[in-house]
Structure formats: structure tokens, C-alpha cells
Structure 1
Amino acid sequence: MAGSGTQVTYEHVVVVGAGVAGWCAAAAVAPHCRRLTVVDRSGGTSHAADTVDLPARVQRALLALHDGLAPLRTRPRPTAARRGTVGALCAEVSVLPHVELRLAADALWLTGDPAVRSVEVMTASGMERLRADLVVDAGGRASRLPTWLAQLGHAQPPVETRPCRHGSAAPGDDGEHPTAHRRLRYDRLCSVPANVVAVGDAIVTLPGHHAVGIAVAGLHATALHRHLARGPLDPSCWFATAHRIGDAAWRRSDTSSPFRLPVLRGLGRGAAAT
């Protein structure tokens, strides 16, 4: 299913992770696929991000994702959550007729090379293969994509870390409380299988900078939507874009307090070039 005038690029997309990055990514890909499945190994989703004040630039990015869903609606827009929040995006995406949410479904590995073709998922009923022509990893700091790449015979991305200097860290998309800044340099890999990308905390994690993490997730999703509007994703091109979006936050994260907006403003300017 896709809205009028929207290019349907994929038959079935699987988003791994129902956290902030996962729902933002789902909103981005929903207009570009006939079926969308969001899988999460937990038994529920959380929208604590809705309590975080975001700068206007990031709110506009989230609102743009909302607007992109308008042609897909078959029922009135949910009104429980304020527009421009992750909770509102979740509410809108989850009721779309071509979207399915699978909770307590643990994505264990990918199959297919040179192009990923399916995700193997453990559910209460046992193993299940979800065929997909695009997999978006939004699994947060617990992302298994590096392991999946190794299983497919590809190199794992270089990992850069540094200590977190802002005390207690807010949980990431995976619900864990990391103790160090970390980013995975997928942009440095010589080859990545087709049909698989990552977003949000699965690429860059900044403990103590919860608002910045939400901003990265939202801006990643906006850029993902723009890439998909041009046709099938080139993973190498995508990871270069994703790195540029998060790089401003990474470079300034140790020089600003967790909610200082200059970091967020830099993020927004970086995303504008994608």
C-alpha cells in the first residue's frame, strides 16, 4: 500500500525494534512499501521520549513524517498523543492497514547474500522466517547487525568509544543504561549487503544526551524517507548520510551538558544537506 503519488519501492519491510528509532523509521518507510512489520523482543513499547522538549527543527522533522502518512490513513488520525512526538507517530503508524506489530518476537539472524532476503525471528510459537526486501535495524545499543554481517561473511564495522562524562545515562532504544559514548562506523565498510540498514542508537549512542538521541532518530528517519523517495536504498550511501547526521552530536557531546541545544542545532544543520 502507498499513498497517491508515492513510489512503492519495497514489497515487505521489516523494522527491528519498537523504540524511538524504530517507530520513526517505520513512519519513514510506510509510504514506500506494501507491507511493513515492526518486530520487538520485548512485550511492549514505551514513549518516554514524548516528555522531552525538542527544538523546532527536530519537531518539524517529526511533523514531516506525520504528513507523509496522510495519504495512507483509512481512519481518522489518532488524537491521544500530541503531533510532533514519537508517541503520535507510533499511534498513526500502528493503525495503518498494511502495518503489523509483532511483540515478543526476537530477530536472531538474517539470510541472503549479496542481498538480504529474510529475517529469522523467534516467537512464542517457535522460529519463523519473515521474508523481506528491506530490513531496518533499530535495535539500539543491543543491535545484532555487526554479528549478522559477520555471519554473512562481511566485515564488522569499526567501533569508536569514549567515556560518558555526564553521570547517570538515560536508557537507549534497547532499554539498557550504557556507560560510554559509542558509534559504529558502517560508513567505513568496503561492502554491506543490499537491503539492510541501521538507524538511531544502532549506529550512535550518546548516554546522558537523551534529547540528542531522539533528535538523531528523527533526523535519520527524515533522511531515510528522502532516500527512499529516490528508489531502492544503497546501503553505503545511506550509512554515509547517517554518519553525517550523527557526527555533529558525537563531536560536541563531551563539551555540552545533556540538553544544551547547540548540539541539537548542529544536528539539524547536518541533516539539511542529505
Structure 2
Amino acid sequence: MDDDATDNHPRTTDSHADSYAGSQAGSQAGDRAGGRAGDHAGDHAVVLGAGLAGLLAARVLARRFSRVTMIERDELPQGEPVFRPGIPQSRHAHVLWSRGVELIELMLPGITDKLVAAGAGLYDSPRDFLWLSPADWFGPVSGARVLLASRELLDQAVRQEVLRNPRIRVRSGEAAAGLAAGPGGRTVTGVELRGGERLAARLVVDATGRTSKAPAWLAELGHPAPEVTRCDSHLGYSSRYFEIPDDPGRRWQGMYVQGRPELPRGGVLMPLDADRWLVTLVGNGEHAPSVREEEFLPFARSLRSPALYDAIRDATPLSAPTAFRNTANEWRHYERLERWPAGFVVLGDAVCRFNPVYGHGMTVAALAAEALAKEIRTLNPEEISAASRRIQRRTTAVAAVPWQIATSEDMRYPVTEGPPPDRATRILQSYMSRVMVAANTDPAIASRFFGVLSLTSPPGTLLDPVTMVRVLSKRGLPTAPHTTDYPSHHGPPVARAQNRPPAVG
């Protein structure tokens, strides 16, 4: 992370932050006045998008720039956390893996405790969950820490902490229409807002996510469009909130029933904000779940285990089912462009987005912010602008491991569209199938597996000689065995065990 000892601006102390009237409305009003007063870049950075990637980027940039302005298309909510259109996937399951928790805590000290106080939960995965992998049930072993909270709560808590910094302002209900640039499009000098206003900036960061217009904006400046790699397993979501029913015998906190290529259906159940469950059903291709209310429970009953169905069959729904289908892995390869304008960087889902079923998006946003912090820690604003191409490559590099995880797994499904797996990927898939079998029976392998899945440990952790010997020692076990309805350490609700309908294939 960035080092205060190298900061070329006065440190923003807690007392300064506390004295800042950091309400969102005040923040917007101050920037409307200050941002329009002078049309010069000076020591100013603009961040487009106030989602997690944009918020963390603004926090990092405030160490080097005296002014950071965030431009957000949505009208940001006041008061209680609520859904907003700019984050349509927020009504579906989200996980912040341990590496993301650690990095966000470093950037915003105390944020984890505030989230937990507001109803978020810190859990150990898979120990605190019922988790049926493609191979078998995980035992109650320690793997990786996860933070579970509604996306609305998480974004609001992070936004409030970021805006405590008096250098950062947000203008909501506004959007960028394009980039302002110098001669020949060699330097980005600011942004053009809808309505005609121009904001001058030394650095512009695009963190507008899946709807990013960066390719078109760069084309207008004379730059080629980036190559795009896409891998789409045609995964569909259907999610619904439930009231948590009383069950004194319940010893788990959440549940994940994964599918297999021959039955590509699964489901996630997670506690949210202390008093409700979010249940997300998933399926690939023609197995994508419906959003019709009468089909939600039958789909849950069709999974490889009846455990999720048993949990919700008598629970009170708090919402109608909601669909999400935009789940393809897509990488815009800005890092490959030979020409790149100074003063411009693209971050987060605007560069690389992943099938959300693996839960990596928010953690990758934190990793990109960490990479940004490392690149600019000793630079002044003018030097940061000049280093944009290097910054683009370094911040994009953090996507390589989660991309490999997501695409290599998605390639197992026959309906997946994208580059076919090469020989190295097929070997990796075969080995990872054996890792999964071993992780279900060996706590040491489970710990290493979840270290990699949580992006805390490098993939090589699973390839060291000791680990490979342990993994290959299980080669006599099948990779797709018949599995029991429940794991050995936790059975069905007692009152329902006698009359539960059979699972259907």
C-alpha cells in the first residue's frame, strides 16, 4: 500500500476528516462550486463511477492529488442503503474474499468493524457453510475468511468512509459524454460532461464498469479499439430474499450447492445484514432458472442436494425473484495497445469482468486499487499523468489469476462460447479436479485451495511438490462420485426429514 512517508501532500488526519462536513449533499455542492470555478488541470483527478472500483481509486488518488472529483450517473441514495440502477447485479449473491477484506481495511481503517456493526458478517469458508463441491461435501474445515453483506450496505459504508476525506467530492446524477484531449489525442486533459460542461484534470480514471464507453472515447481521439477476449458460459441467475426461519438445530451460516457439467444447476444461500437470507439460483444455458415465483422452489428442489430446498421451503419470501444474465467473462486488452494517452486509466469491470459466480469482482477492484497505490506512491500529479500507460498495465495485471480461474472452470461446460481450452488448460482442469477431490478429504489441501480461490495465495501454492504428492495420493477417488443429500457433519431439519420430497434430476 502507499506509504505516508512518501506522501507529497499534507496528511489528511482523522481530526481533519471529522471536522469535514462530509455529508454527501455537502460534498456534491462543494464540488459543483469548486469544479466550475477554474478550467485548469492543476492538481486535480477525475474518477468516473462511484462503485467500489471508483471509490477505492479515489481514496488512493487523494494521497497524491489535492482534489479528486467523482462523477456518478446515478443519484446516490441518502439514508438507508437501497438498490441503484448502476449496480444491477447487487440483488444477487456477492462475496468479498479475505484478500479484498484485508486491502479495503488497509485503505479505510476501521471499515470492517463498521460493516459488521451495520449487520455484515465475517465467516470462515467452508467451515461455517454447507458446501457441496463438484466432487463432494467439504468438511467443517477452515479455508478462507469471507465478508457477506448486501452490496447496497457495502457500497454505502465504503462511500461514507471515502467521502470523509476533504480532498474527495462526488457529483451524482451526472455522466461523462467523452474525453477532453490535447493535440493528436496524445494526452487526456479532462472530461466532457453531458450538458456541455468540461472538467479539466491531470488524470481521468474510468471506473464505470460494464457500461464503459472507453473504447468509443479512445477511437474519437484516434486510438485503436482494444482486442476483446470473451468466454461466456451462459450462466443465469434468479435471486430472492427470505426471512430467516427459526431453527435451533441449524449450525451453518450459509450454503453453496454447486452443479456439474452433466447437471449445470446450483444455488447459494447467504445471510445478509443480520436478518434475512439472499438465495441465488444459477444454471447454464437451458438450465438457467426462471424468475416465475411458482418455479423458484421446484428449481431449488432439482439441485444435487435437497439441502437448500429444505432450508427455504417454509421460509417467508421477502421479494419476488429477480434475474441477471450478463455474466460473461470479458477482457478488453488495453494493456496490449501500443499507443496510450497520458492522463487516462481504466479500472475494474471496465477493463476485465468475470463470471460473478466465483465472487472475485470486488476483490479484484481492491487489488487494482492496491496496484494503483504502488505505482503512484512516489510520483507527483504530472508524473502520474505521464506514467498512465505503465499504470494501465500494472493495474490490469491483477486480473490474470481470477481470469484463469473463471475461464478454465467455465470451459468445462459444453454451452460455453469462447476460445477452446488449449492443452495446458486441459491439463490444469484435470489436475484441479483432483485438487477438488483432495480438498474434500484433506484439510491441508482445503486450506491451500481456498487460499488460491480467495486470491490470498498464488496459484503456485497448489503446484508445489508437497501439495502435488498429497493431491495425487487421492487419485483412486472418483472426481464425480454419487454424493449424499447432506454432509456427515450436518443432517436435514429433523421435523422435515421424514416427509421431504425426493430431489429430481
- TM value normalised by structure 1: 0.79
Partner of 1:224: 372
Per the alignment, in what secondary structure is the counterpart of residue 150 of structure 1? helix
For 1:59, give the aligned amino acid.
Answer: V
Partners in 2 of 1:58 and 1:268 — Cα distance? 12
Per the alignment, in what secondary structure is the counterpart of residue 253 of structure 1? helix
Partner of 1:121: 193
Q: State yes or no: 1:181 paired with 2:223.
A: no
Per the alignment, in what secondary structure is the counterpart of residue 407 of structure 2? coil
Residue 268 to residue 59, structure 1, CA distance change in 2 (3 Å):
farther
Q: Once structures 1 and 2 are overlaid, which stretch shifts more, 232-241 or 161-170?
A: 161-170
Within the candidate set 55, 60, 67, 2:97 is matched to 55
Deviation at 1:4, TM superposition (A): 7.4
Partner of 1:148: 217
Partners in 2 of 1:268 and 1:58 — Cα distance? 12
Residue 22 to residue 82, structure 1, CA distance change in 2 (3 Å):
farther
Q: Once structures 1 and 2 are overlaid, which stretch shifts more, 18-27 or 80-89?
A: 80-89
Q: State yes or no: 1:91 paired with 2:160.
A: yes
Partners in 2 of 1:4 and 1:242 — Cα distance? 23
Q: Once structures 1 and 2 are overlaid, which stretch shifts more, 261-270 or 85-94?
A: 261-270
Give structure 1 stretches of 5+ with no counterpart: 71-76, 171-175
* Deviation sequence 1:135-183 (CA, Å, 0-9, x none): 110010111111111111111211111113543299xxxxx85242111
Q: State yes or no: 1:64 paired with 2:217.
A: no
Residue 177 to residue 196, structure 1, CA distance change in 2 (3 Å):
farther
Partners in 2 of 1:216 and 1:187 — Cα distance? 16
Partner of 2:274: none
* Deviation sequence 1:23-47 (CA, Å, 0-9, x none): 1211221211110111011112669
8 Å contact from structure 1 (residues 158, 184) kept in 2: yes
8 Å contact from structure 2 (residues 97, 359) kept in 1: no
Q: Any residues of structure 2 matched to 1:1-274 within 5 Å, and which?
A: 6-8=7-9, 11-44=43-76, 48=90, 52-67=94-109, 81-82=115-116, 86-113=155-182, 114-122=186-194, 126-168=195-237, 178-209=326-357, 211-231=359-379, 232-233=383-384, 234-256=387-409, 261=450, 264-266=453-455, 269=458
The root-mean-square deviation of aligned C-alpha atoms, in Å, is: 3.3
Per the alignment, in what secondary structure is the counterpart of residue 326 of structure 2? coil
Hey, which bits of structure 1, 4+ residues long, moved more than 6 A?
A: none
Partners in 1 of 2:326 and 2:362 — Cα distance? 16
Q: Percent identity?
A: 28
Per the alignment, in what secondary structure is the counterpart of residue 71 of structure 2? strand
Deviation at 1:262, TM superposition (A): 5.8
For 1:168, give the aligned amino acid.
Answer: Y
8 Å contact from structure 1 (residues 252, 263) kept in 2: no
Deviation at 1:191, TM superposition (A): 1.0
The count of residues paired between Structure 1 and Structure 2 equals: 250
Residue 262 to residue 254, structure 1, CA distance change in 2 (3 Å):
farther
Partners in 1 of 2:75 and 2:377 — Cα distance? 32
Deviation at 1:87, TM superposition (A): 3.9
Deviation at 1:268, TM superposition (A): 5.8
For 1:217, give the aligned amino acid.
Answer: A
For 1:39, give the aligned amino acid.
Answer: I
For 2:373, give the aligned amino acid.
Answer: H
8 Å contact from structure 1 (residues 246, 267) kept in 2: no
8 Å contact from structure 2 (residues 348, 364) kept in 1: yes
For 1:135, give the aligned amino acid.
Answer: V
8 Å contact from structure 1 (residues 164, 208) kept in 2: no
- TM value normalised by structure 2: 0.45
Residue 41 to residue 54, structure 1, CA distance change in 2 (3 Å):
closer
Partners in 1 of 2:238 and 2:326 — Cα distance? 7
Deviation at 1:253, TM superposition (A): 0.2
Residue 134 to residue 4, structure 1, CA distance change in 2 (3 Å):
same
Residue 180 to residue 44, structure 1, CA distance change in 2 (3 Å):
same
For 2:104, give the aligned amino acid.
Answer: L
Residue 236 to residue 7, structure 1, CA distance change in 2 (3 Å):
same
8 Å contact from structure 2 (residues 70, 170) kept in 1: yes
Partners in 1 of 2:325 and 2:197 — Cα distance? 30
Partners in 2 of 1:88 and 1:204 — Cα distance? 25
8 Å contact from structure 2 (residues 342, 389) kept in 1: no
Partner of 1:173: none
Partners in 2 of 1:242 and 1:178 — Cα distance? 24
Residue 210 to residue 169, structure 1, CA distance change in 2 (3 Å):
farther
For 1:116, give the aligned amino acid.
Answer: V
Residue 265 to residue 227, structure 1, CA distance change in 2 (3 Å):
same
